[in-house]
Each structure stands twice: as C-alpha cells, then as structure tokens.
Structure 1
C-alpha cells in the first residue's frame, strides 16, 4: 500500500526503466490524484515516496492521467541519448511534459 495522497487517485503508471537516485537504482511507479499532486514511489524499498510534483493550482485542478515516454536527443557530435519524461493530463484539459 502506498500512502500519501489526500484525495482520489486517478492514474498510476509504471516506469519500465530503473531510475538512478540518492538511494541507488529504483523501480518506480507514479500516481496522479485530484489533490493535484504526482507522487513517485520506489516499489522495491519499503514503498518509499521518492519525489512529489505539485500541479499548478489554477491551471491543472487535479491530475487525471500519466504516461512515461522516452525522448531521443542528439548532440552536435551525433551522439544519441534517451531521456525519460512524464506526460500528464490535468482535469482542466492541459497536457504537460515533465522531465
């Protein structure tokens, strides 16, 4: 059980990638709620909350959907890197990319 949201949870998304953080590598899910927060959870180490994002109070009005996406980047030397980002949809119809 993951505790932390103060209202209804509308969306949960699993990241298929390991995320490096201050406690090492984590398998992560995130959850979006009508309390206008997105919370990131480590599913391997006692279900600790890793991070929280607060949505814009006036423009979001709650988080209703989430999706991890990988975006490809090229630098000037033609090296390709991949960045993990999170898209989320708000109750007011906005879609944002975080990452």
Structure 2
C-alpha cells in the first residue's frame, strides 16, 4: 500500500498517495478536529469489489469508520463517553480469548485514549 492517512484541524481525514504526493480522497463528517487516524484490519465487500476500512478519532468524542473507496458516508460511528473530552489515539490489538471458539483464539479490539485520561477498549 503506497498511501498515508492524515487528520486535520479542518475536521477532515485525508488519504494521500506517497509516490505522487497528491490527495486521493477526503473524508468529512467529524464536527471537531481529528487527532488520530488508523488503517483498520477490516475489509468490506461493496459494488466496487473489496475495499479497506480506515478509522478516525476526533475531539468530537467519536470514532468514525470509512470505506477507503468512498467518501460519501461513514460506515459506522462509535460515540465515546462525554467525559472523555475527545479521542486522542487509536490502536487495534488482538487479545487472546479465554476460551477458543470457532477455531479462533484471539479477539480483535479497538483501544482508544481520551483527553480526560482513560484508555478504553471497544470490541
């Protein structure tokens, strides 16, 4: 993958081509500045085939998931606690399950840090 993501004070998430330095896509929907962006391990099937998913964390207390091929709408929104006062960092981690189910030994979780201090795990 020859792309890089950026979050901005203008409330947008942007996808850039590393080789050309040109913007490929812009994702709008946050209502406050975007502190962190992350490539997610998820992929989706849509009318254009298979597409990767990215996510972004904002001072608006939301984490938004985006289809990398479309900037029309968010795929999903997580709203954090109002006391968090913004999402400042995101990281996908695999945590070992206590019991092996369906031949799967790990759960994929999204961890995020807030301006108020707590680190939360979603998944």
TM-score range, shorter chain: 0.7 to 0.9
Counterpart position of 1:63: 87
Aligned partner of residue 92 in structure 1, secondary structure? coil
Q: How many residues were matched structurally?
A: 95
Q: Tell me if the contact between 1:72 and 1:80 (Cα under 8 Å) persists in the aligned partners.
A: no
Whichever structure has more strand as a proportion of its residues is: 2
Point out which structure has higher relative CO (alpha carbons under 8 A, 6+ apart).
Answer: 1
For structure 2, the residue ranges without an aligned partner over 5 or more in a row are: 1-25
Is 2:27 aligned against 1:5?
A: no
CA positional deviation for 1:72: 2.4
Counterpart position of 2:119: 95
Counterpart position of 1:14: 39
CA positional deviation for 1:70: 1.4
In 2: Cα distance, 1:56 partner to 1:87 partner: 14
For residue 38 of structure 1, the aligned residue among 63, 67, 89 is 63
The alignment yields a C-alpha RMSD, in angstroms, of 2.4
Larger Cα Rg: Structure 1 or Structure 2? 2
For residue 76 of structure 2, the aligned residue among 38, 51, 56 is 51
CA positional deviation for 1:83: 2.0
Please give the TM-score of this superposition, normalised by the length of structure 1.
0.80
Counterpart position of 2:14: none
